[in-house]
Amino acid sequence: MTSQDAQRPDYYARRAAQERALAERSKDPSARLIHAELAARYAEMIAPVTA
């Protein structure tokens, strides 16, 4: 994570929430998995900032 990324935890938190919502609404199992993985990656990006 760069210092510029660290200044944007609100962006990554919002994207994680959006991807979780998309995963929940997806009817296709492959799409659901992809959205869930993206949500996890966004959450990992903000974990060091919020810890």
Q: What is the pLDDT of residue 6?
A: 55
Q: Are 42 and 12 in contact (CB under 8 A)?
A: yes
Is the pTM higher than 0.85? The answer reads no
Residue numbers of the domain that contains 31: 3-46
If you count them, how many residues does the chain have? 51
Assess if residue 51 is contained within a domain: no
The verdict on residue 39 lying in a domain is: yes
> What pLDDT digit, counting tens, does each position of 6-51 carry?
568 899 999 999 999 999 999 999 999 999 999 999 999 887 655 5
Q: Work out the pLDDT band at 1, boundaries 50, 70, 90.
A: low
Instruction: Using the predicted structure, report yes or no on whether residue 5 has a pLDDT greater than 70.
Output: no
Q: What is the count of structural domains for the chain?
A: 1
Confirm whether 34 is domain-assigned. yes
